[in-house]
């Protein structure tokens, strides 16, 4: 049976384009995102950021998502950064090792089109998080103006 993993960029994807524009760097009071993450029926959740590992870890802890995240991939833990194909290959290979299978369906959430284009090129499903999401490119599978809309859609469409 195919495993399902979600991969999230942090800045602008997970914490900026939100309905109420909270400062998630300094505020951990919103429990909505945590509850949605906990309700997702997926085999793995990963963070994939061009920020540092420390930055990724701090945001994950501030959002109280540390129990939901399998691993954080960051610029100081990867041989290449997004949008380089080699970076995506590295992350995919690490997830394959973590999941102990090649039979994986990937859903990649990001705000930058270059990153999503590369992800689509290696066979990942792409989710664009951007307030201008109605103007999506062909390589975008889904587009939402904020992460809450995207995750609500994912939750409602779980098998």
- Alpha carbon distance 88, 99 (integer Å): 16
- Predicted TM-score of the model (pTM): 0.90
Which one, of 94, 115, 114, lies nearest residue 46 by Cα? 94
Q: What is the pLDDT of residue 28?
A: 55
| Tens-digit pLDDT string for the chain (159 aa) | 899 999 999 887 776 545 455 555 555 556 788 888 889 999 999 999 999 999 899 888 888 889 999 999 999 999 999 999 999 999 999 999 999 999 999 999 999 999 999 999 999 999 999 887 677 789 999 999 888 889 999 988 886
Domains of the chain: 3-156 (3.40.50.1000)
Contact 10, 59 (CB under 8 A): yes
Task: Please give the structure tokens belonging to residue 53.
Answer: 């590992």
Q: What is the pLDDT of residues 98-142, one digit of tens each?
A: 999 999 999 999 999 999 999 999 999 999 998 876 777 899 999
Q: What is the pLDDT of residue 11?
A: 81
Q: What is the pLDDT of residue 127?
A: 96
Which spans in the chain are helix H?
A: 32-39, 53-62, 85-99, 113-121, 147-156
CA atoms within 13 A on the CB side of 127: 24
SS3 87: helix
Q: What is the pLDDT of residue 29?
A: 57
Q: What is the pLDDT of residue 81?
A: 96
């Amino acid at each position: 049976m195919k495993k399902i993993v979600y991969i999230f960029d942090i800045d602008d994807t997970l914490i900026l384009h939100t309905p109420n524009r909270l400062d998630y760097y300094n505020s951990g009071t919103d429990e909505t995102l945590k509850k949605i993450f906990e309700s997702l029926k997926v085999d793995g959740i990963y963070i994939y950021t061009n920020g540092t590992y420390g930055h990724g870890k701090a945001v994950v802890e501030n959002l109280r998502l540390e129990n939901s995240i399998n691993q954080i991939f960051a610029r100081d833990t990867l041989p290449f950064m997004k949008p380089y194909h080699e970076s995506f290959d590295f992350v995919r290979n690490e997830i394959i090792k973590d999941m102990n299978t090649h039979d994986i369906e990937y859903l990649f959430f990001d705000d930058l089109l270059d990153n999503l284009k590369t992800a689509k090129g290696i066979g990942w499903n792409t989710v664009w998080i951007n307030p201008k999401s109605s103007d999506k490119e062909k390589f975008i599978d889904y587009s939402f103006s904020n992460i809450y809309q995207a995750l609500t859609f994912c939750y409602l469409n779980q098998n």
